[in-house]
Structure 1
Amino acid sequence: MSRLYFFVLLVLCYFDSHSQEIVPGFLKSPVPIPVYISGSFSELRNNHFHGGIDIRTDGRIGLPVVAPADGYVSRITIEAGNYGKTVFIEHPSGITTVYAHLDAFSKELTDYVYFHQKAAESYEVDLTPEPGKFPVKQGDTFAYSGNSGASRSPHLHFEVREGKSNWVINPLLYGLDVKDDIPPVITGIRLYPVGENSAIEIEYKGKSSTYTRRYFNPVNVAFYKSGGTYRLSGVKMVKVYGNMGIAIECRDMMNDCGNVLDIYKGELTYKGNTIFAQERQHFSLDDTRYINAHCDYYEKYYHGRNFQRFFLLPNNKISFYTNVENNGLITGRVYDTGNVELRIWDHHLNNVAVEFQVTGTNIKPEEFPVKQMESYLKLFYYDRPNYYSDSGIELFFPENSFYENVNFVMKELPARRFTYSGIYKIHKPEIPLQTAFTLRLKADRLPVKYYSKALVAEVSGESVRAVGGVYTNGWVEAKVKNFGSYAVVVDSVAPVVRTVNFVNGSNLKYAKDLKVSIYDLLSGIKSYKAYIDGEWILMEYDKKKGLLTHRFTTLPDGNEHSFRIIVIDNKDNVKEINLNFKR
């Protein structure tokens, strides 16, 4: 731990005005067992960086969660998906700690939450108790770990935020006792010619001679490890004409933990000078979607690989980059040779590096391949709003929707039996977006009776995924976050509601709970309410399983009781079930 403590002290003054002072040892562990990490801070996730750390709970639900420092409960949220059951604790130092995917709260928090759930007749709530209403001392149990929300297995998601902002801080900088002497591993190296007139030549060492291959598109390079350094296999020299960028695929692991984690820090140097660095001390959750510029989205989409760029796309505003020169690009100059080193560290400063030589080269214009110019409808600039319209479609992209300029393409596909507009293949799904765009589709085949049931959906063969939207004056408008094929469809079908552990007339004398399965075929569940003998009851919603559960809190009385449940989807289709049971 001494190396980490020393490093933390060195970086305290580095934080900008968003940051709180970090005091190593201020936060103790929030669990009463040794800390093993199953998800690291800023880890690469779909469309976002991980905002905290995931702490293993030995696969158990119900492990006590304790306050890591004095403070008070400032917020409690319950969601069917996302973070599930969550507690926020505000500390006098100015930080707020967050605990997500919980199974249950302490009794006083449970009573407080239930009071508000009953008043709102809603499982999902977002509560802000008065400051100091629920004080906690370091080590106090205030909740129990679980698997609620979008969690896929039992664990505790733990965050540190700067006050009430959306800036998150790496919790490991507070000195949590985590063992790690395993360095990161590099699993891929990718070189990019950047710009219209750039190319890469790689001079390979053959058995008896050398040979050169020229690349005008990104290329993955074979490599091997020698000690703590990775080197390019069989490569004598990398030659650059124009500009070159570098990306690596990597992973990290910790002692006694089989989970694949991510790095903490990286630095790219050329001829001994830093041209790009990243240090993941903190970042804003509002900017987390820039991960799609940080990584090579094309490789992620088609091959499932996470190559992390050590150079900038034009619209990449990630806050944890530092010392960026020439956007992290290496510019080839004839007869100018230098050493490239890309070094990465984990949270405990275990590190490895990639090293290779680069020199400039000269390529005559006539040696570049003749590019087949792809026809496109319009050039969209990343740094300004963009608009496109045709007879059946209108598109509006806010400023900074793209990470770089886009040659926009679109194609109208044949309508399907279930669509009420043309199907429009909008650009390319391997091109990511930073912000949602407005999509309007003309629905001139839509019957009047379906106006309120119409929505935009992504269509792929017979598969339909709802996006949402509203019908207005002959058009259906929705906000869309990804490129794909879209059309107007109709949801006029009520949700599916099935009782799981009882039927009409069941005797539930020995039952501990009632379970009901709910799901919707298209637009999704908007709300539900359930009643026993006319009184609202709490039914916890596990969205990933589509399961509602009511736990009995009273003893059996041998009487017959009525059960009623009403489920509504996002297009206001309603399903109601009424039945009786004995208990």
Structure 2
Amino acid sequence: MRLSKALLFVLFFLNVLAVAQENPYLFPIRPGQQNYLAGTMGEMRGSHFHAGMDIKTGGASGLAVLAAADGYVSRIKVDGGGYGNALYIAHPQYGTTTVYGHLLKFEGAIAEYVLKNQYQKKSFSVDLNPEQHMFRVKKGDVVAISGNSGSSSGPHLHFEIRNAQQVPINPLKLGFNEIKDDISPTVQKIALKTMNNSSRVEHQFGYFEFTPSRLKNEYSIAKTIEVYGEIGISLMGYDQLNGVPNRNGIPNLSLSLDEREVIQIVIDKVPFDITRQVLCYRDYGVQTQGSSNFQKLYIDDGNELDFYTTDGKKGILSIRDTLLHHVDIVLSDVHGNESTVKFKLKGSRPRVTAIKNDVNFKPIRQQVNNNTLVFMGKKAEHNGYFAHVYANRMTYELSSSYYVNDYSVYLWDLRIGLPDSIELCGEMIYPKLEMTVPSGADFKYYKKEFDLHFYKNSLFDTLFLKTDYMDELANDREFFEISDAVYPLKKNIRISFKPQLSYAARDKVAAYFTSDLKNFSYEGGRWSGERFELYTNQLGKFTLLTDTIPPVFKIVSQNSDSFSGYISDKHSGIKSYELWIDGEWILMNHDPKNNFVWAEKLDKSKPFKGKVRLKVLDNVNNEIVYTTQIN
């Protein structure tokens, strides 16, 4: 039977279309078999969005890593942190680059090339860009072995696909059949936040969490929540894939009010230059105070991400009536699994008495929330419940906004002025708010104990600067407080400490961050005359500490075939290390998370022999020199 030309054309077209829609990339681990992920692209990780997917390797290193497509090795990076041993393969036919991270080792000629360059540069850490012709690969070639190098919490392969602009895109959107997923996202909590001091949730100002009930993939809050004004909604939840317990991010969310979509969020690419915007995307203040990650379903001030489609109000709900409103939140993953959250909001004008018996109410002395200073006091029997706010060289009478249990709650708009002090029922409150620091401007602040320099891009949003200084003479320490750690920084600020105490071993002094005045993390810095200069990307409490204790080295093996051990430093941390055997520089590989170092020969046939000298420096140049002899 002969087919007509028209039918042949249709069949040809359908075949071309099918091929065009087919995923052109090979799964880099055990292709054709079911695989499992420990993490997905776009998840909130510390101070960045996760840029790829983490492929499980059975809890062990040693699996073959395959090139996902034809191309050439464009970059090779070795480092103790980050992606550890990482390989980048360019695919000119697609205009993309695939990235393979946390590798145990590179294969064949690639490994030899890296080792040669490490010896030439006398450095474990290298960042190499081979010429295009050097390492051409075919789809399915073994290019590396999976491992646990770099900042990895366990063996896995970090895999990325980047577009022509080197922006990571979501690999799962290409449809890898190796990953199975028929599980809908899980919702844990919903949070409502008042966005200004005239807004209320349940007749109160602040941040309020609600736990929804679940019926299959549908969630609901039985209680009708009374609100007024501008309200921001956040969600805490996760997504899961078949066969593994790992909790992954939710890439697609939408929020609707009365069946009208007010915001849609789609995380399908993550530019590296704005990945720190995750601090705006999540509720950073809530997360730093011990709660889990909440995704904001609104665009906060300073947020420059392009994940959003909105109605023009940035996803913030405005309810200033007394009507019943219906809220719908839809969450979905890349595979189309969907969950919904439904609840009701009732417009209700603020009343003076909020709640008489709120068991969840936690009284606070004072707290800054957005542009509002919140302070509280026991209900007074005199003065008409007025607080006297001293600001702008004037006295303002401020009545309580509402009562909760036995407390009067006062709300002061900081845009009016920063209070020097507040008198409340005969007691004084000192907010210690010293300056309004605008975002998007170069700003300097001078104080007896330190100076601050906020650069144009340091802040996401306006900062109401709170500072303090205290000394702990018993321990010969001083502490410098620059606002609270609950406020994220977009870029670095410069702190010029002007120490009030004396420091004898000045070359061993460094700045440290502390959250509890007991535990300290190294920040760095350097002396500039009598000042100590530090560039940092976080606010909070700092101190200057002297470290005169050298690093520690513990030998594990030393013979003609191997030299290895553990290096550690309890204070400022390891800065560098160098091994010489018989007068020749020897490469020392470093796994910082396990404090382990091991030597690797350039010439595998040549035994280690002769005088051994290992020098280890910490970050303030305390050193230990280990010497021995290998015969």
Q: 1:550 aligns with which of 599, 602, 616?
A: 599
Residue 522 (structure 1) aligns with: 571
Q: Which moved more, 1:392-401 or 1:137-146?
A: 392-401
Show the 5 A alignment for 1:51-450.
Answer: 51-92=51-92, 93-163=94-164, 165=166, 167-177=167-177, 178-201=179-202, 214-233=203-222, 235=223, 237-363=224-350, 368-369=401-402, 370-371=409-410, 374-416=431-473, 422-443=478-499, 445-447=501-503, 450=505
Residue 208 (structure 1) aligns with: none
- Cα 1:403–1:24 change in 2 (3 A) is farther
**Counterpart of 1:326 in 2: which secondary structure?**
coil
Give the drift of 1:220. Answer: 1.1
Give the Cα separation in 1 of the matches to 2:116 and 2:628: 27
Give the Cα separation in 2 of the matches to 1:306 and 1:232: 20
Q: Which moved more, 1:121-130 or 1:565-574?
A: 565-574
- Cα 1:470–1:56 change in 2 (3 A) is same
Give the drift of 1:515. Answer: 1.1
Give the drift of 1:137. Answer: 0.6
Give the drift of 1:367. Answer: 7.8
Give the Cα separation in 2 of the matches to 1:84 and 1:560: 30
Asked if 1:531 is matched to 2:580, the reply is yes
Residue 28 (structure 2) aligns with: 30
Give the Cα separation in 2 of the matches to 1:562 and 1:536: 12
- Cα 1:462–1:228 change in 2 (3 A) is closer
- Cα 1:554–1:128 change in 2 (3 A) is closer
Give the Cα separation in 1 of the matches to 2:502 and 2:97: 50
Give the drift of 1:551. Answer: 4.5
Give the Cα separation in 1 of the matches to 2:462 and 2:264: 24
Asked if 1:483 is matched to 2:539, the reply is yes
Give the drift of 1:230. Answer: 1.1
Give the Cα separation in 2 of the matches to 1:548 and 1:577: 14
Give the drift of 1:163. Answer: 2.9
Show the 5 A alignment for 1:464-503.
Answer: 464-502=520-558
Give the drift of 1:313. Answer: 1.4
TM-score normalised by structure 2 residue count: 0.81
Give the Cα separation in 2 of the matches to 1:417 and 1:566: 35
Count of residues paired in the alignment? 536
Residue 562 (structure 2) aligns with: 513
**Counterpart of 2:565 in 1: which secondary structure?**
strand
Give the Cα separation in 2 of the matches to 1:48 and 1:148: 19
**Counterpart of 1:544 in 2: which secondary structure?**
helix
Residue 563 (structure 1) aligns with: 612
**In structure 2, what residue type is equivalent to 1:39?**
G
- Cα 1:30–1:242 change in 2 (3 A) is same
Give the Cα separation in 2 of the matches to 1:484 and 1:216: 25
Contact persistence 2:586–2:600 (CA under 8 A): no
Contact persistence 2:75–2:88 (CA under 8 A): yes
Give the Cα separation in 1 of the matches to 2:136 and 2:606: 37
Give the drift of 1:310. Answer: 0.2
Percent identity for Structure 1 against Structure 2: 29
- Cα 1:245–1:528 change in 2 (3 A) is same
Residue 505 (structure 1) aligns with: none
Flag structure 2 segments of 5+ consecutive residues without an equivalent: 1-19, 353-398, 403-408, 413-430
Give the Cα separation in 2 of the matches to 1:524 and 1:227: 49
Give the drift of 1:24. Answer: 4.7
Give the Cα separation in 2 of the matches to 1:443 and 1:333: 52
Give the Cα separation in 1 of the matches to 2:140 and 2:593: 32
Give the drift of 1:64. Answer: 0.6
- Cα 1:105–1:222 change in 2 (3 A) is closer
**In structure 1, what residue type is equivalent to 2:189?**
G
Contact persistence 2:400–2:411 (CA under 8 A): no
Give the Cα separation in 2 of the matches to 1:556 and 1:288: 46
Contact persistence 1:501–1:515 (CA under 8 A): yes
Contact persistence 1:243–1:329 (CA under 8 A): yes
Q: CA RMSD in A?
A: 2.2
Contact persistence 1:458–1:484 (CA under 8 A): yes
- Cα 1:407–1:29 change in 2 (3 A) is same
Contact persistence 1:40–1:52 (CA under 8 A): yes
**Counterpart of 2:550 in 1: which secondary structure?**
coil
Give the Cα separation in 1 of the matches to 2:494 and 2:64: 45
TM-score normalised by structure 1 residue count: 0.87
Post-superposition Cα deviations, 1:70-122, rounded to whole Å, max 9, x if no partner, equal 11000000001111000000001111111000001111001101111001111
**In structure 1, what residue type is equivalent to 2:498?**
K
Higher relative contact order (CA 8 A, sep 6+): 1
Post-superposition Cα deviations, 1:409-436, rounded to whole Å, max 9, x if no partner, equal 111111456667x411221122222222
Give the Cα separation in 2 of the matches to 1:469 and 1:222: 45
**In structure 2, what residue type is equivalent to 1:200?**
V
Contact persistence 2:581–2:609 (CA under 8 A): no
- Cα 1:199–1:547 change in 2 (3 A) is same
Give the Cα separation in 1 of the matches to 2:24 and 2:473: 60
- Cα 1:24–1:434 change in 2 (3 A) is farther
